[in-house]
Structure 1
Amino acid sequence: MTDTPRIEVTIAAPIDDVWRALREKDRIRHWHGWDTPGLDDEIDLIYFQSFTEDAQARTLGVQEGDQIVLEPDGDATRVTLTRAPRGVSPEWDAYYDDITEGWTTFLQQLRFYLERQPDAPRRTAFFAGTTAGAQPLLAELGLGDVATRPVGSAYRATLAGEEVTGEVWFRSEHQLGLTADAWGEGLLVIAFVPPGEEKPDGSAMAVLSTFGLDDAAYAELNDRWAAWWSPRYPAPAEPLPGTEA
């Protein structure tokens, strides 16, 4: 990656709605991250401590230098996040690429929230692990063909033992997002980074955002994915920031 990666997402929502989703804590909880005991503290740290904002210009500075800019794009809103260069926060440089990937996930979850689930509370399941010696995640999930389809294409797949249908939501270098009808029109974001010089153990991640599932259905989904995931992508010795739960 370059020293200042840029992530751009166009959201089919008015700019005022997107701005509120970035500045109101109750709304941020609908899309940022995933369910952890520390989610509220994380939201407060990123969006409401050491931040800069210009509400009129619709710009927001967070994470000690990351810049978010909203711009009208017809009836939609273009959201551009530009990372601060490496070295601005040296204590976080070891996680620089992970944070960039995290922003890709979060902005796509923001888009999903505003376009598909603006009023419904979500419940998430989260899985993270290492990839050394493991099969690539997309292939292991049977999504190799799905990952090549254009955004907006319909798909059907068996995911951790469950038949799931939906559409391709987004695709990036390391991530794939799929809507999931079976989860109350939910969203699956999966990421896979093979072992390399900067990340010898590699990394795999799945965020399942569900809507309207009762306790039993949510527990069954979470347990089934945990049983599928754990032997394939074991937890890292030192969890990445935000993945400890």
Structure 2
Amino acid sequence: MNDDGTSATPRIQVTVAAPADEVWRSLRDRGVIRQWHGWDAAELDAEIDSIYFTDVVEDAERRTLIANGGDRFEVRPHGSGARVTLTRAPLSGNPDWDAYYDEVTEGWTTFMHQLRFAVERQPGATRRTLLFSGPDAALEAVTGRLRLDGPVGAPPGTRYTATVAAQDIAGEVWFRSEHQLGVTVDEWGAGLLVVVGAQASGTGSTGASKVVLSTFGLPVEEFAELERQWADWWRGR
């Protein structure tokens, strides 16, 4: 059972080096949510409004939010910072929706670590984010093609250098989960690169390979060139 008495479902936790009230604001301010949720897309604002502000259950005093769809967020003080816990809603029973359950869980994993990055490293900054996705693949296969073999086996905080999609980059390992690797990228403002590799599960859930590139403060021309380089690399991978 989960702490709230519901049946056990996937749980994602991140610890953020910021006061709990500041982290809670990251879940309740549309402008702040935009700096960590999702990626550049015409429908991003509508998606944020639907998930976080439509048919939700909010307890601001306890810093809890049940989002549209049933996923539950809690923000609690933790040491000198705050811990965010996201507890997934149960499976719906609709096989068409449930086929994407694991993929959505991986998406939330990405977003929670993007939240931490935005709060700790880029508070108040404007983000531009690219997404490239493909068929299911193991994480090691995706990081291998990206030549990120070193970071995938290193603990968070480890410095790295690599040549990825024809660009020399450097930074540190930000996080590692079962199916994801996140590394900071000094050259992107500094930014964050998240690599996802998840294969289809035996329960019918689909898998996916993805890379999510979050940049901060890049000039328009540099962002366009970054998008071109990665689009060319992704097509030819």
Alignment TM-score, normalising by the size of structure 1? 0.88
Give the conservation status (yes or no) of the 8 Å contact 1:123–1:211: yes
Give the conservation status (yes or no) of the 8 Å contact 1:65–1:88: no
**Any residues of structure 2 matched to 1:164-203 within 5 Å, and which?**
164-195=169-200, 197=202, 198=204, 202-203=207-208
- Structure 2: tracts of 5 or more residues without a match: 1-6
Code of the residue aligned with 1:141 in structure 2: it is: L
- SS of the residue corresponding to residue 9 of structure 2 reads coil
The CA RMSD over aligned residues, in Å, is 2.0
Code of the residue aligned with 1:50 in structure 2: it is: D
1:79 aligned onto 2:81: no
Change (3 A) 1:132 1:145: closer
- Structure 1: tracts of 5 or more residues without a match: 233-245
1:10 aligned onto 2:15: yes
1:33 aligned onto 2:46: no
Code of the residue aligned with 2:134 in structure 1: it is: G
**Any residues of structure 2 matched to 1:1-245 within 5 Å, and which?**
4-87=9-92, 92-131=97-136, 136-195=141-200, 197=202, 198=204, 202-232=207-237
Change (3 A) 1:179 1:148: same
Counterpart Cα distance in 2 of 1:163 and 1:144: 15
Code of the residue aligned with 1:112 in structure 2: it is: F
- SS of the residue corresponding to residue 229 of structure 1 reads helix
Count of residue pairs brought into register by the alignment: 230
- 1:55 shift after superposition: 0.3
- 1:131 shift after superposition: 4.2
Counterpart Cα distance in 1 of 2:93 and 2:35: 29
Give the conservation status (yes or no) of the 8 Å contact 2:18–2:119: yes
Give the conservation status (yes or no) of the 8 Å contact 2:189–2:217: yes
Change (3 A) 1:88 1:19: farther
- 1:63 shift after superposition: 3.4
- 1:132 shift after superposition: 6.5
Counterpart Cα distance in 2 of 1:186 and 1:132: 24
Code of the residue aligned with 1:28 in structure 2: it is: I
Change (3 A) 1:132 1:80: closer
